């Protein structure tokens, strides 16, 4: 006879203390909750939780050790019209499970209704077909691990997929390829440090589910934006082979990255779950307390509000849904030592009712939280609901993926007219979006490419998407890519290939010379291509994996331009430019001056010249107002950045007011670094068509 103690209602989930495990589950609608324990042969033992406080059902079981598999069966009302979907025949994943074993086997039994009749109730047992929650050992030898706490203005982000980045790397042992251990391997870490990366932003690693429809097509949910466990590292990314081993392996990865000075940022999906709409499976929260976790259509609670395009949205005005998210975030910081989060479709988190509310309860909770308010918080500032595009509208201390930066930089380099005024704003940190809210340039996460859309190689190789491999007749993915194939669709050689390499150098030079936080998409520095697929969410294969056959010329350029930024604080200012001489700097020159190719200051007619595609900018390194960490005044070199997006070479006159002698630091028209090239004030300097030239004052 198993010994059962009352236990405690907090913390939620399964908590091992060295002698046994406390289990706690919230459900306001339950009549009874059964905790089901599974042995190695699949045998099931159910323990009824007789203790309930504040709608939390709990018990303590002495002797239950890490590795124990479990799930819940919740007895309660099944009335979809009233938003209630309890069914004890469905084995449910603990929303607070720290590890999850197995995956979903898409049998009829995992659904709450009979196929073809959504109003019916299916009472077949789902246990043989659904994953198990797993009790973990929370103890880990962190030693002297400390978060790098890199200031935003010094941060370089590298967006990466755990499997896609490592699965083909020749220096990673075969047994750990595609895993957390591979991310922490010296071969990967050395590559990141050589690029000057200070933070790796991992695409979703919370336990996720591959949709039934994708499995039927022989595909998978490769990206992972289909979460079912907000506390559990995805089990398929573990190489350990041990039950719950993904937790220890993830922690070891974080520790290794921290030792190299690299922060770990998680791309998190708190806006919806893998349970989908009213026709989706019953895997966890739907069967536990549907109406307390999900936004339901008020006029008919059978249906789900969907501002994410995935079938459901979490109910952000429910204290229980908010608690789940906040508990999850704190867990990843305090127990897993991650350094920040990028929130997928973050506008959905701000929807308490229907409108996006920047002062919603979620943001209030984060702002006052002593743990979460101190880590990096990055918003993807849009969703698919009405009014969901919110670039520039998130609260203080939040940074944002700047979609306007991406669009503007792409437009400029593909030769779109009348883009210079906005280009100037994006290059200098997007003050039009962030300054009025007392935010700084680092509020802008600048990127040209990311996981969603073309790779950098494909951005210069394709005018149109080519997503046929996704099985949706090329209907999926964005149609507006702002790309230019340089004259040939797809692979090319000769002058077209050379122009593409130059365009790629233009994009990365612009990215690293812009104020704000640069973000690289994994493999772009190697010329990664997806063959024109701009929506590789379901391609767990060579279409999406990084090919480590090095494009050494472009890799070298990426390292050089990253080093230029790292060595010169004028490219990573903490404050916006003033556009005038800075009091106290002792320099009579403005901190920034915009110039025509003729060397004169830009005037209104120059900015409004719709066909102009070239300009220069003087950055005064002696007029940086912010001190360093020890309060000392920062003094840097001064630079002239010469941008020519026209297809022909343009001669830029070096102005005489800003310095006598200049040296070329970078020229995107040159695939390799060349010897020192000097020029004098008043001299006409040729800048090749579609190129950037960077001059440093001597």
Domain end, chosen from 570, 602, 629, is at: 570
CATH number at residue 111: 2.60.40.10
Answer yes or no: do 530 and 658 share one domain: no
Q: What integer is the mean pLDDT of 298-307?
A: 94
C-beta of residue 476 within 8 angstroms of C-beta of residue 535: yes
Query: 575-623 pLDDT, tens per residue?
Result: 999 988 877 666 789 999 999 999 999 999 999 998 899 999 999 999 8
282 assigned to some structural domain: no
Residue whose pair of structure tokens reads 């630091």 in the numeric block: 665
The reported pLDDT for the residue numbered 339 is 98
Q: For residues 554 and 520, give the distance between their C-alpha atoms in angstroms, rounded to a whole number.
A: 14
The reported pLDDT for the residue numbered 377 is 96
Query: 5-29 pLDDT, tens per residue?
Result: 999 999 999 999 999 999 999 999 9
CATH number at residue 217: 3.20.20.80
pLDDT band at 362 (very low <50, low <70, confident <90, very high): confident
The reported pLDDT for the residue numbered 610 is 83
Q: Which residues are catalytic?
A: 344, 380
Domain end, chosen from 103, 135, 167, is at: 135
pLDDT band at 389 (very low <50, low <70, confident <90, very high): confident
- Does pLDDT of 346 surpass 70? yes
Query: 139-172 pLDDT, tens per residue?
Result: 999 999 999 999 999 999 999 999 999 999 999 9
1 assigned to some structural domain: no
The reported pLDDT for the residue numbered 348 is 77
Q: Between residues 586 and 660, which one has the greater pLDDT?
A: 660
Q: For residues 448 and 454, give the distance between their C-alpha atoms in angstroms, rounded to a whole number.
A: 10
Strands (DSSP E) along 363-403, which ranges? 376-379, 399-401
Q: What is the DSSP string of 232-297?
A: EE-GGG--S-STTHHHHHHHHHHHHHHHTT-EEEEEE--S--TT-STTSB--SHHHHHHHHHB-B-
The reported pLDDT for the residue numbered 646 is 96
Q: What integer is the mean pLDDT of 103-130?
A: 96
pLDDT band at 354 (very low <50, low <70, confident <90, very high): low
| Low-confidence winner among 300-309, 517-526, 639-648 (lowest mean pLDDT) | 300-309
All residues at 6 or more sequence positions from 388 whose CB lies less than 8 Å from its CB, including other chains: 307, 345, 347, 348, 356, 382
- Does pLDDT of 355 surpass 80? no
All residues at 6 or more sequence positions from 5 whose CB lies less than 8 Å from its CB, including other chains: 20, 59, 60, 61, 62
Domain end, chosen from 545, 570, 595, is at: 570
The reported pLDDT for the residue numbered 162 is 98
- Does pLDDT of 36 surpass 60? yes
The reported pLDDT for the residue numbered 381 is 83
Q: For residues 641 and 510, give the distance between their C-alpha atoms in angstroms, rounded to a whole number.
A: 10
Answer yes or no: do 258 and 370 share one domain: yes
Query: 236-277 pLDDT, tens per residue?
Result: 999 998 999 999 999 999 999 999 999 999 999 999 999 999
The reported pLDDT for the residue numbered 626 is 75
CA-based max dimension of the chain: 93
Name the domain count of the chain.
3
Answer yes or no: do 456 and 586 share one domain: no
Answer yes or no: do 88 and 211 share one domain: no
pLDDT band at 501 (very low <50, low <70, confident <90, very high): very high
Question: What is the torsion angle, in degrees rounded to the nearest 10, for the CA atoms of residue 403, residue 406, residue 412 and residue 415?
Answer: -100
Phi, psi (deg, nearest 5) at residue 161: -105, 130
Q: For residues 419 and 413, give the distance between their C-alpha atoms in angstroms, rounded to a whole number.
A: 10
Q: For residues 438 and 429, give the distance between their C-alpha atoms in angstroms, rounded to a whole number.
A: 13
437 assigned to some structural domain: yes
275 assigned to some structural domain: no
Closest-CA residue to 341 (of 221, 445, 193): 445
Q: How would you classify the pairing of strands 56-62 and 69-75?
A: unpaired
Answer yes or no: do 367 and 486 share one domain: yes
Q: Hey, what are 146's tokens? A: 């400390």
- DSSP H or E segment with residue 687: strand 684-687
Answer yes or no: do 528 and 584 share one domain: no
Strands (DSSP E) along 424-522, which ranges? 444-446, 517-521
Answer yes or no: do 110 and 89 share one domain: yes
pLDDT band at 356 (very low <50, low <70, confident <90, very high): low
Answer yes or no: do 108 and 179 share one domain: no
CATH number at residue 661: 2.60.40.1180
289 assigned to some structural domain: no
Q: How would you classify the pairing of strands 678-680 and 614-619?
A: unpaired
The reported pLDDT for the residue numbered 441 is 96
Answer yes or no: do 393 and 473 share one domain: yes
Q: How would you classify the pairing of strands 678-680 and 661-667?
A: antiparallel
The reported pLDDT for the residue numbered 428 is 98
Query: 422-469 pLDDT, tens per residue?
Result: 999 999 999 999 988 789 999 999 999 999 999 999 999 999 999 999
The reported pLDDT for the residue numbered 471 is 96
The reported pLDDT for the residue numbered 91 is 98
The reported pLDDT for the residue numbered 585 is 64
Answer yes or no: do 415 and 515 share one domain: yes
pLDDT band at 35 (very low <50, low <70, confident <90, very high): very high
Q: For residues 672 and 409, give the distance between their C-alpha atoms in angstroms, rounded to a whole number.
A: 23
661 assigned to some structural domain: yes
Q: For residues 113 and 279, give the distance between their C-alpha atoms in angstroms, rounded to a whole number.
A: 8
Mean pLDDT, the chain, whole residue set:
94
The reported pLDDT for the residue numbered 388 is 65
- Does pLDDT of 628 surpass 80? no
Answer yes or no: do 260 and 382 share one domain: yes
278 assigned to some structural domain: no
- Considering only CA atoms, give the Rg of the chain: 27
2 assigned to some structural domain: no
Q: For residues 619 and 591, give the distance between their C-alpha atoms in angstroms, rounded to a whole number.
A: 6
Query: 169-202 pLDDT, tens per residue?
Result: 999 999 999 999 999 999 999 999 999 999 999 9
C-beta of residue 293 within 8 angstroms of C-beta of residue 314: yes
Q: Which domain holds residue 654?
A: 577-697
Answer yes or no: do 632 and 554 share one domain: no
Q: What integer is the mean pLDDT of 207-229?
A: 97
- Does pLDDT of 387 surpass 90? no
Query: 457-497 pLDDT, tens per residue?
Result: 999 999 999 999 999 999 999 999 999 999 999 999 999 99
pLDDT band at 313 (very low <50, low <70, confident <90, very high): very high
pLDDT band at 383 (very low <50, low <70, confident <90, very high): low
């Amino acid at each position: 006879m198993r010994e059962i103690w009352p236990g405690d209602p907090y913390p939620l989930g399964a908590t091992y203390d060295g002698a046994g495990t406390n289990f706690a589950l919230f459900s306001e609608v339950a009549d009874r909750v059964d905790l089901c324990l599974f042995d190695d042969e699949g045998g099931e033992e159910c323990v009824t939780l007789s203790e309930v406080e504040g709608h939390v059902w709990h018990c303590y079981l002495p002797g239950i050790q890490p590795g124990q598999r479990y799930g819940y069966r919740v007895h309660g009302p099944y009335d979809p019209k009233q938003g209630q979907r309890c069914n004890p025949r469905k084995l449910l994943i603990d929303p607070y499970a720290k590890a999850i074993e197995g995956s979903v086997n898409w049998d009829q039994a995992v659904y709450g209704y009979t196929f073809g009749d959504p109003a019916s109730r299916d009472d077949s047992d789902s246990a043989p077909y659904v994953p198990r929650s797993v009790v973990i050992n929370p103890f880990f030898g962190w030693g002297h691990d400390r978060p790098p706490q890199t200031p935003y203005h010094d941060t370089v982000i590298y967006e990466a997929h755990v499997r896609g980045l490592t699965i083909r790397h020749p220096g990673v042992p075969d047994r750990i390829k595609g895993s957390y251990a591979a991310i922490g391997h010296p071969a990967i870490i050395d590559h990141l440090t050589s690029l000057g990366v200070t933070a790796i932003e991992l695409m979703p690693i919370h336990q996720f589910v591959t949709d039934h429809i994708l499995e039927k097509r022989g595909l998978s949910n490769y990206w992972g934006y289909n979460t079912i466990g907000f506390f559990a590292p995805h089990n398929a990314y573990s190489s350990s082979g041990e039950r719950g081993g993904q937790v220890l392996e993830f922690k070891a990865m974080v520790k290794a990255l921290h030792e190299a000075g690299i922060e770990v940022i998680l791309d998190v999906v708190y806006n919806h779950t893998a349970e989908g709409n009213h026709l989706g499976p019953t895997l966890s929260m739907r069967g536990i307390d549907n109406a307390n976790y999900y936004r339901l259509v008020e006029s008919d609670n059978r249906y789900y509000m969907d501002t994410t395009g995935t079938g459901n949205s979490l109910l952000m005005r429910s204290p229980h849904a908010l608690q789940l998210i906040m508990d999850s975030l704190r867990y990843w910081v305090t127990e897993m030592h991650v350094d920040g989060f990028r929130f997928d479709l973050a506008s959905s988190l701000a929807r308490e009712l229907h409108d996006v509310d920047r002062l919603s309860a979620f943001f209030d909770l984060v702002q006052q939280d002593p743990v979460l308010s101190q880590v990096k918080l990055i918003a993807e500032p849009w969703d698919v609901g009405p009014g969901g595009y919110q670039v520039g509208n998130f609260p203080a201390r939040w940074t944002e993926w700047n979609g306007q930066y991406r669009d503007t930089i792409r437009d400029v380099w593909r030769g779109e007219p009348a883009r210079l005024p906005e280009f100037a704003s994006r290059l200098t940190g997007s003050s039009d979006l962030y300054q009025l809210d007392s935010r700084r340039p680092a509020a802008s996460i600048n990127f040209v490419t990311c996981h969603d859309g073309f790779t950098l190689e494909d951005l210069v190789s394709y005018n149109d998407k080519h997503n046929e491999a996704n099985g949706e007749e090329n209907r999926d993915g964005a149609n507006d890519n702002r790309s230019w194939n340089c004259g040939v669709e797809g692979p090319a050689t000769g002058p077209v290939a050379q122009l593409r390499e130059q365009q790629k150098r233009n994009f990365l030079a612009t990215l690293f010379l812009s104020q704000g936080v640069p973000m690289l998409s994994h493999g772009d520095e190697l010329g990664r291509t997806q063959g024109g697929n701009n929506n590789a969410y379901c391609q767990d294969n060579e279409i999406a994996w990084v090919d480590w056959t090095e494009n050494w010329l472009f890799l070298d350029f990426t390292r050089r331009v990253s080093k230029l930024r790292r060595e010169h604080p004028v490219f990573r200012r903490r404050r916006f430019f003033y556009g005038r001489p800075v009091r106290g700097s002792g320099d009579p020159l403005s901190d920034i001056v915009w110039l025509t190719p003729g060397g004169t200051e830009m005037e209104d007619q120059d900015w409004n010249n719709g066909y102009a595609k070239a300009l220069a900018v003087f950055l005064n390194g002696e007029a940086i107002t912010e001190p360093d960490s020890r309060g000392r005044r920062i003094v840097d070199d001064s630079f002239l950045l010469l941008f020519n997006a026209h297809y022909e070479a343009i001669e830029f006159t070096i102005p005489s007011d800003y310095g006598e002698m200049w040296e070329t630091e970078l020229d995107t028209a040159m695939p390799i670094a060349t010897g020192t090239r000097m020029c004098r004030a008043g001299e006409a300097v040729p800048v090749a068509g579609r190129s950037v030239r960077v001059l440093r004052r001597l």
